[in-house]
Homo-oligomer: A and B are copies of this chain.
């Protein structure tokens, strides 16, 4: 089933900056690629993560990049164990008629700089192209800035107009939306894929954008995926799963806050001492 690949690194931080560790190379039949990376309300990340867990998808590759934040996490589930920031590729093989083989990408982080966003998007497309992907579904959240009281909507955007119809049947709104732009990998992977003649849509769950993560928006996106991919998912564990994922998410968010504020704090802290340190001045 899988080719003879085991724990092979393609590149390193110094050779390319963004690189893949192949755990194995799956053989898949016309697979659909589903991507959920961190973003507004962690809708995309959580929906794809739930899919991995519910389907029991198998990890086959990891992606590392020096465009990610310069930290390691101490894993909340294994206290004291260090966990690097990475993206993780999983595969799942169709179990019955009407289903498709899937590749699912989840991850801890997006790029810290614009250039890195483009390079990571291109590297993701390299991986899925090598596995025969022709169709992409990226998942994200659409932050309205207001509380979403009832059933959150799912919005869509696409690179080929003809890809809208099957999702519109499932209630996805493409045409009467207020969406003006898509930031980061959810959009850029589709843009890069378009130049390689792949098709794809971005599905975005309506969320206030004020919660760390939004289980209702996550469920709304998952229901579209379930319908489109004929998966027969059990949705009962979403709340519970999202709470678990929140632990890691809070660490990453907290950390980005700290990376940003540490420079300022240091400056303030040092400023208070300034009168004692009169002998240190700027020259240039």
What is the interface of chain A, defined by CB distance below 8 A to chain B? 9, 12-14, 17, 21, 38-40, 66-74, 76, 78-82, 84, 111-115, 117-119, 121-123, 140-145, 155-159, 161, 164, 174-184, 186-188, 190-192, 194-195, 202, 204, 209-210, 212, 250-263, 266-267, 269-271, 273, 277-284
Is B280 touching A82 in the complex (CB atoms < 8 A)? no
Nearest CB in chain B: distance from A252 CB, A: 8
Across the two chains, which residue of chain B brings its CB closest to A79?
A: B175
Cross-chain pairs A/B with CB under 8 angstroms, 9 sampled? A38-B284, A40-B283, A40-B284, A66-B115, A144-B281, A178-B278, A210-B269, A253-B266, A260-B263
Nearest CB in chain B: distance from A226 CB, A: 22
Across the two chains, which residue of chain B brings its CB closest to A186?
A: B284
Is B118 touching A13 in the complex (CB atoms < 8 A)? yes
Is A81 touching B161 in the complex (CB atoms < 8 A)? yes
When all copies of this chain in the complex are counted, the total is 4
Q: Name which of A73, A82, A184, A263 has the most chain B CB atoms within 10 A of its CB.
A: A82
**A209 to chain B: which residues have CB within 8 Å?**
282
**A269 to chain B: which residues have CB within 8 Å?**
210
Is B183 touching A259 in the complex (CB atoms < 8 A)? yes
* Bound: A2/B179 CA distance, A: 39
Q: Which of B122, B192, B251 meets A280, CB within 8 Å?
A: B251
Is B184 touching A284 in the complex (CB atoms < 8 A)? yes
Across the two chains, which residue of chain B brings its CB closest to A115?
A: B66
Q: Which of B66, B117, B195 meets A70, CB within 8 Å?
A: B117
**A251 to chain B: which residues have CB within 8 Å?**
180-181, 280
Q: Name which of A13, A73, A261 has the most chain B CB atoms within 10 A of its CB.
A: A13
**A13 to chain B: which residues have CB within 8 Å?**
118-119, 121-122, 192
* Bound: A266/B158 CA distance, A: 28
* Bound: A192/B14 CA distance, A: 11
Is B267 touching A261 in the complex (CB atoms < 8 A)? yes
**A157 to chain B: which residues have CB within 8 Å?**
74, 80-82
Is B182 touching A71 in the complex (CB atoms < 8 A)? yes
Across the two chains, which residue of chain B brings its CB closest to A174?
A: B80
**A210 to chain B: which residues have CB within 8 Å?**
269
* Bound: A19/B70 CA distance, A: 20
Given contacts A72-B190, A202-B82, contact A180 B279 (CB under 8 A): yes
* Bound: A45/B183 CA distance, A: 23
Is A256 touching B266 in the complex (CB atoms < 8 A)? yes
Is A74 touching B181 in the complex (CB atoms < 8 A)? yes
